[in-house]
């Protein structure tokens, strides 16, 4: 399983609503728990650092473009015109990067 580490301080400074949700959720505690559960099953947790451009990369053509604003929910690639939900686009990129790190892609 592959997840991104997040710059929580930057997110908290940019959006008070997200700051409340993140602190309530306890992201670091969740990651620790997830790692433990996966290792218990002989699986591995891959953490991508916060600089990996998951939301800026087109999951169709691989081009990297500028940052989307928080309110922009759809990703539209200026290179290939591919349109996809921003979170699904990022999830595809994160999964793909995890497979590359594992040598499976």
Binding site for Zn ion (CB under 5 A): 58, 60-61, 77, 79-80, 82
Secondary structure (DSSP) of 56-91: TB-TTT--B-PPPPTT--EEE-TTT--EEEHHHHHH
Q: Identify any residues that bridge with 83 across adjacent strands, giving them in sequence order.
A: 76
- Tell the smallest beta-carbon distance from residue 24 to Zn ion (Å): 35
77/94 with CB nearer Zn ion:
77
80/102 with CB nearer Zn ion:
80
2/57 with CB nearer Zn ion:
57
- Tell the smallest beta-carbon distance from residue 39 to Zn ion (Å): 36
- Tell the smallest beta-carbon distance from residue 64 to Zn ion (Å): 10
- Tell the smallest beta-carbon distance from residue 88 to Zn ion (Å): 14
Cα separation, 15 vs 65, in Å, equals 22
Q: Residue 48 is encoded by which pair of tokens?
A: 């991508």
- Residue 76 vs residues 26, 51, 61, 83: alpha-carbon distances, Å: 31, 21, 12, 4
4/58 with CB nearer Zn ion:
58
């Amino acid at each position: 399983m592959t997840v991104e580490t997040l710059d929580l301080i930057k997110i908290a400074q940019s959006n008070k609503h997200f700051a409340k949700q993140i602190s309530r959720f306890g992201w670091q505690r969740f990651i620790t728990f997830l790692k433990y559960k996966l290792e218990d099953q002989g699986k591995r947790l891959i953490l991508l650092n916060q600089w990996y451009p998951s939301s800026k990369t087109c999951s169709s053509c691989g081009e990297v473009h500028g940052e989307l604003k928080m309110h922009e929910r759809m990703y539209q690639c200026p290179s290939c015109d591919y349109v996809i939900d921003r979170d699904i686009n990022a999830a595809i990129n994160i999964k793909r990067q995890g497979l590359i790190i594992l040598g499976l892609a």
